[in-house]
Structures are given as C-alpha cells and as structure tokens.
A and B are shown apart, each in its own frame.
Chain A
Amino acid sequence: MPQVNYAKKEIQFKIVYYGPGMCGKTTNLQVIHEKVPAKAKGKMASLATSQDRTLFFDFLPLKAEAIEGYVCKFQMYTVPGQVKYNSTRKLVLRSCDGVVFVADSQLSKMQENKESLLNLEENLQAQGDTLAKMPLVFQYNKKDLPQIAPNQYMDFLLNNGSVKVPIIEASAIKGDGVLDTLNAIAKLVIQDFVAKKNQGN
C-alpha cells in the first residue's frame, strides 16, 4: 500500500521498472524525464557505473492530480538488470506498489526475459508479495529492431498466468510506448489503492 498523509493530502506510490540487463529500463525513465512537463517532475538521479550500466537504481519523482482532493506522487525506480546485482534489486523492490516488467523483444533475449521474470517473482515472494496481486504491466520493448519475437510468442513465454497482464509495445529509444506504459501502470496502482481503501482496507 502507498504512503498516505491525510494532513498534507498526499499519496505516494512507488513504481519499479524491472527486467533483464540492457532491456531499456533506464531509457524509459530518461524519456519520461524528457517528455513530462517541469511542474510534474522532480530531479532525476542515476546511480550508474562509469560504463552507464545501472549499479544501484535510477530514480525519477513525478506528481499528478489523479485522485480528487489529493496530490499523487509517483516515485519511479529502475533496478540493475545484471544477474549479479540481485541484493540491490531486492532493496529497490522494498515497499513497491506497482511493477513495469520491461521485456526485450529480440528473439535472442527470450531466455533472459524468462529468467528475469522468475527472479522478480522470487524477490516479491521474499518480501511477502506475489506477482499475481501486484499491479503489473508488461512492456515489450525494442520493437524497432530486426529479428523480434511476435507478441503472441512473448505472451506464451511470459504473460501466461490465469489473468492476462496488460502489454504495451514500445521502442523506448525512439520514445514510442513509454508514456503509454507509464499511464497504464499509474492507472493500475491508483485503481488498486482506491479499490482497497473504498473497501475499508
């Protein structure tokens, strides 16, 4: 559940971009930072290596009036995709309210996508959450590249639970599908929160 401050009329959601190394998580946040107007965003930070690979996380705070009478803040994080940084991914996932799983659409990356999704599921379970209950969006990224897998095949491999997760096709590097993904996950976390609160949870 997000942090709620009734005195300040403020709700804070934490959204994490997850996925294998080099799938475009940081690019997503960079594009959001470029496209969103100044009044709706704060300072962005990237804790990266000298080779621009994410070492700890990228962070971008956003703000919007999504719920009547409240300011909604969205704290956007990415995790490092490289397999060796699992402890860091666990730390970043802490208290998250929604996840965007960025999958690399190149045929050669399907195994890495599957392993990363499995890793997400394990890390969520370790903190008492489940993938099935977590607001989740799949972004099938890199659709501009040759030799990509069709969506049906990616769904068969990744989106194969009893409830189908919304998917967004994207080419984050060109800016395509990035804001659609952001709006999709923002909508899900808000709906999840409103449903729980209005049920009295």
Chain B
Amino acid sequence: MAFELNVADCERIQKDLNEFLDLSEAQATLLCDRGGSILFSEGEFQEDAIDLICALVAGSFAATKELALALGEDEFSAIFHQGKNNSIFISAIGEEVLLLSIFSENTNAGLVKMYAKTACRKMQGLFAEIGDRSHVEAEDVTASFVIKKENLFE
C-alpha cells in the first residue's frame, strides 16, 4: 500500500515517535512500509544508509514471516537482533508498516519491546486512517505535479 503523508500526519507521527524514544531510551527509530520505503525517522541515521536500512528491515521481516508460516505461525509480529554495541527491534504496525528501534547496550531491551508495543498500538489507528483516505491534497490545493526533466541519469 502506498501512503501519502500530509504535514498534519507527519506531526502526529513525529510526536508519537519522540514519545517512544523518550520512554524507551532507544537511540533512533524509523517507520517503513513492508515494501521497504521509508515513511519517517527520528534520531540519528546515516543519510546515505537509511534507504538501505529500510529495504533490509522489510526484507528481514518478510523472510521471518515465511519462516513463521513454515513453522505453522501466521507471522512473528516482532523480531530482535542483538549486536555487541547496538541491537535492533522490529515490530509490525498493522498489515503495512514496520517500526524499527535501534538501541545501545546501555538500554534495557525489555523497555524497548514494551514501549514499542504501545507505540505500535497507538500508530495502528493513524495508519489505518491514512490508508483509508482516498485522496490527499498537497498544501496548495491548486498545485499540480510538473515534470522537470526527463533524462534523469547521464
């Protein structure tokens, strides 16, 4: 599913993610769709790596879903990868969105998992609402999309 986020949506998402970061003490978090496209990020990410991170998060989650099916589960709704210095926790928000949390060894993994669950529940309604909207206006309703250049890569 393709999401179209307007300014108000982004403000609500930013508020929820900041609250999650404060409570969980995670270092960074991002939302991407299950196709691997980034929706929103908070905290520090390397700019040139963020798209790759989303692609791999979506890929990792999809692979884990297949594993779940092979084991007779519908889906593993969250996955955890533990590193030496940093760990990640990926959890599903409904059918279309994934929440990635990155946290260091000084953060309590249980805290991240608990608050990630709360954040996912909270944002599930918002994304259902966004997904149900048939049309999103740009800020300027008279604006149209104009193609600037056709041969983009030379």
Contacts and interface: CB of A to CB of B under 8 A. Distances in A.
Given A6-B138, A14-B36, A91 B59 contact: yes
A67 B146 contact: yes
A48 interface: no
A199 to B, nearest CB: 10
B71 interface: no
Given A6-B139, A68-B148, A47 B48 contact: no
A94 B35 CA distance: 5
A7 B5 contact: yes
Contact of A75 (B4, B37, B39, B62): B37
B144 A198 contact: yes
Interface residues of A, number: 53
B5 A5 contact: yes
Nearest to B46: A43
Contacts of B66: 87, 91
A179 interface: yes
Contacts of A4: 2-5, 136
A41 to B, nearest CB: 8
A193 B51 contact: no
Contact of A2 (B2, B10, B40): B2
A192 to B, nearest CB: 11
Size class of B's contact patch? 35 or more
A6 B6 contact: yes
Given A6-B4, A36-B153, A66-B152, A191 B37 contact: no
A37 to B, nearest CB: 9
Contacts, number: 141
Contact of A62 (B9, B59, B153): B153
Contacts of B2: 1-4, 95
A118 interface: no
Given A36-B153, A91-B62, A190-B147, A3 B33 contact: yes
A73 B18 CA distance: 25
B134 to A, nearest CB: 9
Interface of A: 1-8, 12, 14, 32, 35-36, 40, 42-45, 47, 56-57, 59, 61-62, 64-70, 72-73, 75, 77, 87, 91, 94-96, 179, 182-183, 186-187, 190-191, 193-194, 197-198, 200-201
Contacts of B146: 67-68, 194
A68 B6 CA distance: 18
6 contacts: A4-B2, A6-B5, A35-B153, A75-B51, A95-B36, A187-B150
Given A3-B4, A6-B136, A45 B56 contact: yes
User: Which of B3, B55, B151 has its CB near the most chain A CB atoms (within 10 A)?
Assistant: B55
A66 B148 contact: yes
A67 B153 contact: no
B52 interface: yes
Contacts of A47: 59
